[in-house]
Amino acid sequence: MDKRFLNLFNLTEEQAIALLDTPYDQVSEDDSRYIATSHLINFSSENSIQALIRAVQQTDPALENRIVRRKSVETLGRLEAKQALPVIRTCLTDDDCYTVENAVWSIGEIGTQDAEILEEVAQLLETFPEAGMQGLKIALNDANPVVHIAATMALGEIGVPSLDILIEALETTDNVGLAVSLVNALASVGDSRGAEVLTALVNDESADASVQESATSALSRLEMVSQYRRKPQSQNRRV
């Protein structure tokens, strides 16, 4: 068996940090920076988090270093290290697609109140739909209204691909403010499935009155949009 894996459980936090800080081309055959990165999940101290951040900031394109960066981003997400959000955000534009995917996932795990970060995640969905959607779905459950409303708006901008998440959230949330935002997002998507959900909500006597009122208004907007789309193109033009 490779000695690197035998050494995994013998590493202290200090040893793992020292190994991670070692330039990749100076690591001995019996050691592994990747294992050190994985091992630091067991230590949520500031020293470990800062070591992982330093690893992410090492942008040498060598394969060994790219793999360590990916794992460092993931480990920071698992540790829910909010202080790492700025450096993780820079990975959203990384040339390595797997680093970008890990960054999106980690942002979802950590959570953020930054609407700009959530918007950047939303813009990545065409390339990384699963990871990006998951990040926004997690943000819907954030207790801070700035976060979950921004996530709802981003999902509404995405459109039809986000319908399942929006509908599930609307059907399960007890948060009236979030429900109103979800109703408006469904209206902005303009899909028949969303209209069915909104119609059911309007007819649900147990629903909150303000949510029902929002659903009624949303259905009216949907109908106007549908009527516009049904008009012949010549009638939609100004003369």
pLDDT in tens, 76-102: 999 999 999 999 999 999 988 889 888
CATH number, span 1-110: 1.25.10.10
Residue 2's H or E segment, with its range, is: none
pLDDT at residue 190, rounded to an integer: 75
Which ranges of 124-208 does DSSP label H, i.e. alpha helix?
129-140, 145-158, 163-172, 176-189, 192-202
pLDDT at residue 221, rounded to an integer: 75
pLDDT at residue 7, rounded to an integer: 44
pLDDT at residue 109, rounded to an integer: 85
CA atoms within 13 A on the CB side of 174: 1
pLDDT at residue 20, rounded to an integer: 92
Q: Which residues contact 60 (CB under 8 A, 6 or more apart)?
A: 24
Q: SS3 for 45?
A: coil
pTM of the full structure: 0.56
Q: In the 8-state DSSP scheme, what is residue 142?
A: -
| Token pair belonging to 185 | 């997002």
Please list the helix, strand and coil fractions of the chain in percent, rounded to the nearest 5, in that order. 75, 0, 25
Superfamily classification of domain 119-232: Leucine-rich Repeat Variant (1.25.10.10)
pLDDT at residue 227, rounded to an integer: 56
Domains 1-110 and 119-232 share a fold: yes
| Token pair belonging to 123 | 């813009």
Ranges in the chain, pLDDT < 70? 1-9, 30, 125-132, 224-239
The C-alpha atoms of residue 148 and residue 144 are separated, in whole angstroms, by 7
The C-alpha atoms of residue 234 and residue 239 are separated, in whole angstroms, by 9
* Residue 199, CA distances (Å) to 42, 103, 109, 196 in order: 49, 38, 34, 5
Q: Is 159 left (phi over 0), alpha (psi -120 to 50) or beta?
A: left
- The domain spans of the chain are 1-110, 119-232
Please name the residue that has the structure tokens 């800080």: 21
